[in-house]
Amino acid sequence: MEKRISRRKFIKNSAILGGLAAVGGVLFNARYAPTLAVADPSTDVVSDKWYWSCCDLCDQACGLKIHVVNGVAVKVEGIEDHCLNLGKICSRPNSYMVYHYNPWRVQAPMKRTNTEKGIGIDPKWVEITWDEALDTVAAKLKEVRAKDRHRLWCHNGHRSLGNYWSDFAQAFGTTTRIGSVNFCTGGANHMSSVYFQGSGGCHPYVDFTNYFVEIGGRLYGAKGGPEVIRYATRRREAGMKVLNLCPMISPSNPNPDEWLPIKVGTDTAFIMSMMYVMFWELGEDYPGYDVEFLKKRSN
């Protein structure tokens, strides 16, 4: 599927990108100004295409379409009929062009040639070929596997490579693997889902939620992609109340219905106290928990 763009609109978009680059140099740092690619407005539009993809800057994987004119990406939009974001995107995918056209972007393997390490010491990185990089890694892997397979630590990025690294670690024979979710949502979201629901990716039943307790989280922030924001906004319009239990008010959710500025490090005590009230103080006539759900649908 292709969408045509007029010469006038193409020149207009090019001027906007040029203006952003110039303003960026003034407001931030002049040496970062050329990070946006600007098409030549005097060039005729010979190629005008839209490419479908998905975002990898969080775990929601929103549907994206990228507008490419004469080989230059000029705009990122959401896919209207995508099941998650329904055409909406947050600010993250709009930064893809800055990443892609950054003149300091690393596009080849880099090798550290200075063995001395420390603050202020130049690592003396040099660019090497992919063949040299693969041979170097293969030699190290053979050396580690000959001694102890578990001495290999696989540390991968976000989910696009997560499953591949998991398969590689299993094939290599090591269980020492860690990824981005271990530092981000893994400790709170995935592990609690495994323990309580028997699944690694359970989402709250927002459609029937009347009172949402944010404990250090950001309903519209770190996990506030279009899908979460759409559900949260719909429930708040229907009357759901939001309690923010955090020492600070987040700029991403500055207007909760209630804010309790809890002291740092006391959130666990609060949760345990709330569970005690739910289980023991509300009484049998009005239990503070779903008995049948706990018996039949939790781990």
Residue-level pLDDT, tens digit, the chain, 299 residues:
444 555 455 444 544 444 444 444 433 344 444 444 555 555 677 889 999 998 887 777 889 999 999 989 999 999 999 888 888 888 888 888 888 899 888 999 999 999 999 999 999 999 999 999 999 999 999 999 999 998 888 776 665 555 677 788 888 888 777 666 555 655 556 666 666 656 555 566 677 888 888 887 666 655 556 777 777 788 889 999 988 888 887 776 778 899 888 898 898 899 899 888 888 887 666 666 777 877 887 66
Same fold, 7-100 and 208-296: no
Domain boundaries, the chain: 7-100, 148-202, 208-296
Give the 3-state secondary structure of the chain: CCCCCCHHHHHHHHHHHHHHHHHHHHHCCHHHHHHCCCCCCCCCCCCEEEEEEECCCCCCCCEEEEEEECCEEEEEEECCCCCCCCCCCCCCHHHHHHHHCCCCCCCCCEEECCCCCCCCCCCCEEECCHHHHHHHHHHHHHHHHHHCHHHCCEECCCHHHHHHHHHHHHHHCCCCEECHHHHCCHHHHHHHHHHHHCCCCCCCCHHHCCEEEEECCCCCCCCCCHHHHHHHHHHHHCCCEEEEECCCCCCCCCCCCEEECCCCCCHHHHHHHHHHHHHHHCCCCCCCCCHHHHHHCCC
CATH 3.40.30.10 fits 208-296, yes or no: no
Spell out the CATH class of 7-100: mainly beta
**Whole-prediction pTM:** 0.56
